[in-house]
Structure 1
Amino acid sequence: MKILIVHNILWAHYKATVFSELHRLASSYKAEVHVLQIAQSEQSRALLGKPDQLPDQYSYELLFDTYIEQVSTPAKIRALVARMRAYRPDVLLLTGYYDPAQIALMVLAKLSGIKVVIQTESTPVDQVRSGLKEWFKSRVIAMADGFFCFGTPQANYLIQLGVRPDQILVAQNAVVDNAKLRQVYEQARPTRTAKQAEQNLPPANFIYVGRLAAEKNLTALIDAFVQARQKAGNRANWGLLLLGDGPEKGAIQAQIDRLGAQDSVKILPNQPWYRVPQTLALADVLVLPSLSEPWGLVVNEAMACGMPVVVSDRCGCAPDLVKNGQNGYIFDPARPEELTSCLLRFIDGHADRQAMGRVSSEIIAHFSPDTVAREMLAGFVKVTRT
């Protein structure tokens, strides 16, 4: 069985971890796996630096050494069609149904007798939906033989669009490298107090990790944190860390200055993903307050480090990863008072951080690259036998 995977950008390090696991396990399934990476990265990640050079082991080709936005649709179609014809796969995995080039490749694959699997992270609430767009999407996905979904909301959305439940080959394939992240985190923990003092940080901290962008709802997070501190008697032992960069950085810093919260809310320099656990080790609770988030892999990262999480219900990961009141809290971003209440539970000590962290570790153990790779290979086998 020959498996060809089309993936948008080489930058996505956790996908590389899964691809490496697929490569490692493929021989057990009498399969071989090859990945077509369309481009090096995307322009929205330019501030995050160059893609990491990591020792991932899998077979791939980089089609265009540039940002994906700079690759025209005709160029993508020509390159993808040429590589598919040369490789002659039994099954094709596409990582989206929104790209005209991948839709064209899917049509050609179906005409050539090649089975098609689509991987999707879309949910009903991550974007504004229109009737015409949803109709077209349902026509596109009707051509696929099977689907890999980030999680339960994604699987349910596909079923709403007409996909049969038995076509959901993998229902939860959003993973990070749990073991590597936990190792870095544990190595950093012994120096936590010293590092906090060095950076003038409080002994306990909430942390957000990601782009500083409008859809991340960070202005509401800062307001909620300031209000929670005030309700708790303005306790000085809690801070808020914002790790990342992005177009809203200037506005966020202005808000911090306007509120007089410079001592408790700090923007930290962006870090490569493999160093993020070193900063997580300075904090106690991850907060992801997004207005729109197909999944939210940073929640996986924090849980792999044994941390409680506070997550907006607009994040695709919330139903699968957050057990409300057990390893953290889910809140409605349209009701900012809910976020304030969640933060206050930690500040006033009503939430048991240690117990919640243990539950996070237990939940995330089921979301591992090895498990997902095995389920994906079993899915490829299933579609090729139908």
Structure 2
Amino acid sequence: MIRICVLWQSYGPYHFARLAALQKLCAECGHEVVGLEVGDKTSTYGWRRTGPGERGIVTLFPGRVAEAVSPLAVRQAAKKFLKQARCEVIFTPSYWPLYGVLAAMAARSLGMRVVMMNDSHRVTGTNSVPVFAVKKQIAKLYDAAFVAGSVHRGFHRELGFSDKNIFEGYDAVDNAYFGARADEVRKDAAQWRKRLGLPQRFILNIGRFVAKKNLPSLIKAFALARRRGWLNGCDLVLVGSGPEKDRLTGVAESERLKVVEGRRDEIVSPSIAGAEVVRFYPFAQIEELPAYYTLAECFVLPSLYEEWGLVVNEAMASGCAVGVSNAVGCASDLVVPGRTGFAFDPENIGQLADGLRSACQDQAFARQLGANARDHIAGWSCERFAENALKAAGAALAAPQRAASETSGAQATNRPAVVLLQTCFPDYREPVFDEIGRRFAGDFELICGEDYFTRDVKVCAHPKPWRTPAGNVFLFSRNLLWQNRVVERLCEADIALLELNPRVISSWVILLARRMSGVPTLLWGHVWARDGIGAWTNIIRLMMMRLSDGIIPYTYTQGKELQRRMPGLLVVTAPNSLVPKAACVAAIAPMERTTDIIFVGRVKLDKKPGLLLEAFALAIPHLEPEVRLVFVGEGPETASLKQRAGEHYLAHRVIFRGHVIDAVKLREIYSTAFCAVSPGYVGLSAIQSFAHGVPMVVADREPHSPEIEACFEGRNSRFFSSDNSRDLADKLGEMWRDRGTWWSKRADIASWVAEQYSVENMADGFESAVREIKDRRN
């Protein structure tokens, strides 16, 4: 015996009929079915709670409006119920609203098999690259798909389902009910017309008055057909309610059409050809729907997009011809042009008007179309729903067993299990990634683009066996980034590591997809925005962090701050570095040769190299002639600095070395320096300077990078008043006068960095975080 659970948000007439058919079939086969719903009220539809399957339904939140219940609450309640009910297979709807996915995750955690019920296709919803990637990842939660029709089958193949695990027939109505009621109406058509206040002849639409239904186009096509004399006295009847009602009235009036509010228990006089009107009727319950369909010449659904269109099933089961937009999911399966009705482009009003002509000018032809429609829809019954649902359950049970978190394919394909996504691979990161690659020995992959948000970041040009290219697409003046060719790979990885950078849109997609799938994601980088822990933009960073399973901060200080802020989150510090421990040795030349002041980094405005040049010019009277200012790096300010150096007659004492990444050349540069300077905000250059034993002069009030924690007054640094060239000049003079003292400290400065901020320290934090996540999974 198989115990099956079928979850919908709130059961209505469609659901009752399908569940009853499935319960009947399963009873005959010795299986058991229970219906499960979130709430017994809905804010979307005005259904009355009646139906043949209602007695077999369990409501998780009785008396509640289903749409108002938190998805997380649904997950918890569903898990509790499923555990008690001991179900083996659950059918859950789609990937949106979120309650269905969370219920599927709850079921998966209990070892259940999960079938996705879905009538989405390419035209519906949002299927942009990032959104479709999320959908594909969510689809991995499911063992089989129960879909509406042929276009839906193709779409679910794209989502990753194998064809043998896709079953059609999800969208069905109680054909027998509509057919029987239609036959009753035909026997007493005049009485039903009076009861509902319907005209003698009319084109019909039933549904919600919302934008996607495209009813303005139907009204305009009706007006066009009237002007051309094609309607033969057929009015347009719109049954339903919704926010577009006033707009629809306005469209009709602008087309010079008379608008009438339908009234019950009224005999409506036939419309004169050329004077047909638009009639509005309120929402109708299922008991009256067959009468509307049966008495209509044709039912028209002009939607701009529609998952399936169950009203078409109802109309056909009632023996009514149909006109259906080709953007509606059921069109390719239910509409046989010239046999069951007509299809049309929803944005082509003339084409729709032609369809109305075919329905209105020949009543005998319209009746024949209706009879054919009734025969055709017999193959799309609730009984077929039950048969294919049972097949889907069987396929789900036959699928290989997997744990809740086993949605990645890394192990199956022998691809690296640990995947790191970076905006780019800066050349200064090469020692760190080399060390990480060595430690993980083939189980590490770095995916990165070829450039950064700012164009002045130099990218590593050396090929690496663990490096995979990504396509960077910068948006909004390079303020946001989407990375092509990364989402699916990162979603497959056993453990994914992403930059803690909210500006990378693809990282948000990956985070959400992996969170929904229950697989772990780590973030690494600077915890707070440049303006510090109090910056309002940290709200976005915190949102990002809450979606992750752990954080790898770049500094000890931020690690401690984050642990206090988010005590339940895994936090493992990987101190930011670019120098291996073996290279953290003082670059000692004879003291008399240490005559350079050096600036190392990108030569750009917020690093304030111009301030350093001005201070150097002011300090010249207090420095020996052999003292030089050396700029190591490139950037947009270089040309301006060269010009200003010439204006100060200092071109012979201000040297520009350009970008230097070679470790040997850098060591030579640091060996002849008696101090380094950070006139703007300080970053990794401080760690690099200290690793060579060279002290640094640092601005005291700048939006420093977190690496400022490594700077200690008197121990390895001197601070000057920010933006004060005179104070900086004084500090340069003091550093020159005290260079003997600082020279003697070089070995201590370098050894301290080796202990706290080496490449190995950074790789230790990375490795520890990954190991901790693996241990937690096991």
Note whether the superposition's TM-score is higher than 0.5: yes
Contact 1:152 1:172 in 2 (8 A): no
The counterpart of 2:366, out of the listed 337, 347, 353, is 353
SS of the aligned residue for 1:360 comes to helix
Separation of aligned partners in 1, 2:361 and 2:98: 52
SS of the aligned residue for 1:125 comes to coil
**CA offsets, 1:114-139, max 9 Å, x none?**
21111101111012322111111101
SS of the aligned residue for 2:141 comes to coil
Partner residue, 1:254: 250
How has the CA–CA distance of structure 1 residues 270 and 108 changed in structure 2, closer, same or farther, with 3 Å as cutoff?
A: closer
The counterpart of 1:180, out of the listed 164, 177, 180, is 177
The reply to whether residue 69 of structure 1 matches residue 67 of structure 2 is yes
How has the CA–CA distance of structure 1 residues 106 and 273 changed in structure 2, closer, same or farther, with 3 Å as cutoff?
A: same
Larger relative contact order (C-alpha < 8 A, sep ≥ 6)?
Answer: 1
Partner residue, 2:131: 133
The reply to whether residue 162 of structure 1 matches residue 160 of structure 2 is yes
Separation of aligned partners in 1, 2:195 and 2:165: 53
The amino acid of 1:44's aligned partner reads: T
Normalising by structure 1, we get a TM-score of 0.92
Structure 1 alignment gaps of length 5 or more? none
Separation of aligned partners in 2, 1:198 and 1:72: 42
Separation of aligned partners in 2, 1:107 and 1:57: 26
Give the superposition deviation at 1:108: 4.0
Contact 1:242 1:267 in 2 (8 A): yes
Partner residue, 2:3: 2
Contact 1:177 1:369 in 2 (8 A): yes
The reply to whether residue 145 of structure 1 matches residue 143 of structure 2 is yes
Contact 1:345 1:351 in 2 (8 A): no
Normalising by structure 2, we get a TM-score of 0.47
Partner residue, 1:381: 394
Separation of aligned partners in 2, 1:272 and 1:149: 26
Contact 1:201 1:239 in 2 (8 A): no
Give the superposition deviation at 1:201: 5.1
Give the superposition deviation at 1:111: 4.1
Give the superposition deviation at 1:283: 1.2
The amino acid of 1:209's aligned partner reads: I
The amino acid of 1:337's aligned partner reads: G
Partner residue, 1:280: 293
How has the CA–CA distance of structure 1 residues 236 and 99 changed in structure 2, closer, same or farther, with 3 Å as cutoff?
A: closer
Contact 1:232 1:348 in 2 (8 A): no
Separation of aligned partners in 2, 1:344 and 1:104: 48
Contact 2:165 2:392 in 1 (8 A): no
SS of the aligned residue for 1:274 comes to coil
Partner residue, 2:562: none
Matches within 5 A, 1:327-366: 327-349=340-362, 352-366=365-379
SS of the aligned residue for 2:258 comes to coil
The reply to whether residue 203 of structure 1 matches residue 200 of structure 2 is yes
Which of the pair has more CA radius of gyration?
A: 2
More helix by proportion, 1 or 2?
Answer: 1
The reply to whether residue 367 of structure 1 matches residue 363 of structure 2 is no
Matches within 5 A, 1:258-269: 258=254, 259-262=256-259, 264-269=277-282
Between 251-260 and 181-190, report the one with greater CA deviation. Answer: 251-260
The amino acid of 2:171's aligned partner reads: A
Between 101-110 and 309-318, report the one with greater CA deviation. Answer: 101-110
Contact 1:212 1:245 in 2 (8 A): yes
The amino acid of 2:186's aligned partner reads: R
Partner residue, 2:514: none
SS of the aligned residue for 2:152 comes to helix
Give the superposition deviation at 1:195: 5.0
Structure 1 vs Structure 2: percent identity of aligned residues?
A: 27
The amino acid of 1:223's aligned partner reads: K
Contact 1:120 1:150 in 2 (8 A): yes
SS of the aligned residue for 2:124 comes to coil
The amino acid of 2:115's aligned partner reads: V
Contact 2:173 2:314 in 1 (8 A): yes
SS of the aligned residue for 1:63 comes to strand
- Number of residue pairs the alignment of both structures matches: 380
**CA offsets, 1:239-288, max 9 Å, x none?**
11111111111222233334233352101122102211122233110000
How has the CA–CA distance of structure 1 residues 101 and 247 changed in structure 2, closer, same or farther, with 3 Å as cutoff?
A: closer
**CA offsets, 1:16-39, max 9 Å, x none?**
111111112213322111121111
Contact 2:205 2:299 in 1 (8 A): yes
Contact 1:204 1:239 in 2 (8 A): yes
Separation of aligned partners in 2, 1:292 and 1:264: 27
Contact 2:185 2:192 in 1 (8 A): no
Contact 1:318 1:330 in 2 (8 A): yes
Separation of aligned partners in 2, 1:242 and 1:212: 9
Partner residue, 2:241: 245
Separation of aligned partners in 2, 1:134 and 1:114: 25
How has the CA–CA distance of structure 1 residues 53 and 303 changed in structure 2, closer, same or farther, with 3 Å as cutoff?
A: same
Separation of aligned partners in 1, 2:27 and 2:64: 33
Partner residue, 1:217: 214
How has the CA–CA distance of structure 1 residues 76 and 202 changed in structure 2, closer, same or farther, with 3 Å as cutoff?
A: closer
Between 358-367 and 255-264, report the one with greater CA deviation. Answer: 255-264
Structure 2 alignment gaps of length 5 or more? 260-275, 400-778
How has the CA–CA distance of structure 1 residues 355 and 184 changed in structure 2, closer, same or farther, with 3 Å as cutoff?
A: same
**CA offsets, 1:184-231, max 9 Å, x none?**
222122333455478775432110011111211111101101111221
How has the CA–CA distance of structure 1 residues 119 and 237 changed in structure 2, closer, same or farther, with 3 Å as cutoff?
A: same
The amino acid of 1:19's aligned partner reads: L
Partner residue, 1:80: 78
Between 375-384 and 271-280, report the one with greater CA deviation. Answer: 375-384
Partner residue, 1:34: 34
- RMSD over aligned Cα atoms: 2.1
